[in-house]
Structure 1
């Protein structure tokens, strides 16, 4: 009996130890979002949740540093987080990061919310698509919707957390990480990934109405960065990049139109314009700026065909720069970076230089002496198409000419060389390699 008891105890300890090691070995998937919340972030988060589920991850950490984003997109992100079958920890980091505006709702939507020291959260009052203040009635409606949303997300954290979350929406209140922790708005403060895993270990969470306890002590961290397509699209919501792509696309398309038959310039132009269109579609823009840019392109093209050059190019440059500044005019409380005046000016000057180069080439072509006319036929080699007795037909420079032989009859098919012109009649003689070399020496 004693031996059986000891054996059962050893087996129980072994099984328990193996189970504990298996639980601790489950990875923690780590996602990172920097900058404004865009549609790409929703796709990235959906992919991360699916990957975490497939890999059997213990938890998914969404490291967040954002000034916010559009309301409807934010509600999509909240829905993704709350419906996740894997526990999601929203981690506002690194030091100095913010979970501003829509980032507040995303942070509260996580199953756990952790912030790094020296970070901030709040200022979630809604604004319009261009960053402007909403009309009073509409603003009140949107605020009530968002307040109801944050109440539902913060009610499990206590009444003080609910009051603070509502104040973030109603009066754009923002607080530090320590203030948020004191109010119960977040679940803890961690200064590093390792400290975060220690803090999460043993924490209870409710995932799809199912209670469970996190086991993250010593768990391996598996980064899941954005793929190349997501990274490119996420970076495109920058007015400086969008403007440069727009200018490159326009120039490449004009090059393709001026030299049809190729495909490289046209392909590059189409890709750049499509990428620029994506960025412009996400960014808050003033469409008057796009009309001004179109007017600038028209002025550049007209300058190429004008009898005098320079004035229209200068006007087009000024119009292009003004259009760029109007298109991406700075808006209040926008989560997106502003357009740099240096980028706008440099892009406008580059466009002017491009069209100036075209004008210079056009003028050079106009000054070039004409290569048309009968005089350029002297010395050209052709072929007799009929017998020259001594007059007949010859083929020279792609055309049929009447010609007279200077050395008797020349049979059809004989190579000939033009030695003179009388009116519309060519004077020719037989052509041989030796005669051609002699003519070149002369």
Structure 2
């Protein structure tokens, strides 16, 4: 081939390679790593769902969820599992680092993933659902006292869970759910059901022996090394992983996920709701201030938004509101402390009942409830009381201060004339004739005209 044609062919080949490189989706040869630490909440669910969707859009080769969780909300857990099951990119859930756990909701997510992996010195299990509040809404999945299995053999699951009919229904539902996930991924379904019915746990080595997980890896690099060449079934097709020398992209939570995580904390939501109530009370007591009303409205809406995704007790919320009303009423209706003390008691009881403390990370600590109750009581007894005393004082300035002010008639008058009030000349009206120099007192004001009457106290003296 002549040299010019050879050069031209090389240029065409180079341009074609560049075009293929530019056309290749970003992340097509990368691993997306998402990290979840702490309770499974609406914030963590939002972070994982958006991370999985972005990885699918970028056609990433693999999604790795590094997880360390004590459990979380049932609704958030199911949203995450639905996203994993619908993912077109393989998802590997990795319980890491050493000492981490995948308890309760984490066990379900581990079972739902295409690949289940754990680091040494980690554990999973204790997936018995626990109802946090007597409502029909979200129920966190957590265990009261996780137990460790004595032997790695998988025993037959218990036929009937203990508890009331509602609890038995929740346990049966959770057992069927995790069994379905286990059968879908070809994992140990018998032990999964024991984790729900008996709240048993496993270490990483025992989980691998019982085929609960697929891999035990010391770190992320070791995990990717072991995954290289592994064949995964997805939607009736097989996918071979090629994770050797692959690019790793870590996706950190953005501002939205961080905001949801902050306001999704029960203690923060509790404080926001109280700030909102206090702000609105202050605004209604002093109309026109605007700032307390605006800030209070925003805080109250943020607090209610956070509480509506949590399993709250409406009886506890009602007791809190009743306690605030009683403590404020003490300032208006003196009852020798009866209303105030009753309000403090109702407020504390309602705060304790608002969210149960069985699930780690979803309780309101006593160290927060007691100071807030004390501050609310002080606000009601002293601040509100001082405001009432201030209102009882006579008006010192403004138009209202003119009512009752003394004055002197400047000229004889039948019904209308002029008078000096507070060193100023005012147009005045009187029902009776008044002589010059008569002492009068203002009884009403109509714009720039004052209604006056003789000052009987001065006349009598």
TM-score interval, normalised by the smaller of the two chains: 0.7 to 0.9
SS of 1:423's partner is strand
The separation in 2 between residues aligned to 1:55 and 1:24, in whole angstroms, is 6
Give how far 1:85 is off: 0.8
Which structure 2 residues correspond to residues 227-376 of structure 1 after superposition, within 5 A? 227-307=254-334, 312-331=339-358, 334-355=359-380, 356-367=382-393, 372=401
Distance (whole Å) between structure 2 residues aligned to residue 375 and residue 146 of structure 1: 76
> Relative to 1, partners in 2 of residues 1:313 and 1:141: Cα closer, same or farther, differing over 3 Å?
closer
Is 1:214 paired with 2:231? no
Match of 2:88 in 1: 85
Aligned in 2, Cα 1:256/1:223: closer, same or farther, shift over 3 Å? farther
Q: Does the aligned pair in 1 maintain the 2:132–2:355 contact within 8 Å?
A: no
Distance of aligned partners of 1:374 and 1:162 in 2 relative to their CA distance in 1, 3 Å threshold = closer
Equivalent pair of 1:24/1:216 in contact (CA under 8 Å): no
Q: Deviation of residue 135 (structure 1)?
A: 4.5
2:253 corresponds, among 226, 241, 252, to 226
Match of 2:178 among 137, 150, 160: 150
| Between 135-144 and 36-45, the greater mean CA deviation after superposition | 135-144
State the TM-score, normalized to the length of structure 1: 0.75
How far did residue 346 of structure 1 move?
A: 0.7
Deviations 1:201-244 (A, max 9, x none): 32222233321222233333323233333333234343322221
Shift of 1:59: 1.2
Report deviation, 1:258.
1.3
In the TM superposition, what whole-angstrom CA distance separates every residue of 1:350-399 from its partner, at most 9, and x where no partner exists?
212322212123324435686646786779xxxx9xxx767633696896
Which residue of 112, 116, 124 corresponds with 1:113? 116
> Following TM superposition, by how much is the alpha carbon of 1:324 offset from its aligned partner in structure 2, in angstroms?
0.8
Corresponding residue to 1:59 among 57, 62, 67: 62
Q: Distance in 1 between matches of 2:435 and 2:244?
A: 103
CA contact (8 A) 1:157 1:184 kept: no
User: Can you list the C-alpha shifts for 1:248-280, whole angstroms capped at 9, x where unaligned?
Assistant: 111011011112234322222122222222333
* Paired residue total: 390
Aligned to 2:32: 29
What SS does the corresponding residue of 1:94 show, helix, strand or coil?
A: coil
> How many Å separate the matches in 2 of 1:313 and 1:138?
38
Partner of 2:97: 94
Once the two structures are superposed, what CA deviation does each residue of 1:138-179 show, in whole Å capped at 9, x if it has no partner?
Answer: 5555444444443343347667x2332222123211101111
Closer, same or farther: CA 405–202 of 1 in aligned 2, 3 Å: farther
Cα distance, 1:166–1:329 mapped onto 2, change above 3 Å: closer
What does residue 440 of structure 2 align with? 423
Greater helix share, structure number: 1
Q: Output the TM-score relative to the length of structure 2.
A: 0.72
CA distance in structure 2 between the partners assigned to 1:395 and 1:96 by the alignment: 87
Tell me, yes or no, if the aligned pair for 2:407 and 2:440 is still in contact at 8 Å.
no
Distance 1:113 1:232 in 2: 30
Q: Tell me if 1:167 matches 2:194.
A: yes
Contact 1:67/1:101 (8 A) holds in 2: yes
RMSD over aligned Cα atoms: 3.8
Q: Indicate if the aligned counterparts of 1:58 and 1:86 stay in contact, CA closer than 8 A.
A: yes
Given the superposition, is the C-alpha separation of residues 376 and 212 from structure 1 closer, same or farther in structure 2, using an over 3 Å criterion?
Answer: same
- Bigger mean CA offset, 234-243 vs 244-253: 234-243
**Bigger Cα displacement from structure 2, 116-125 vs 271-280:** 271-280
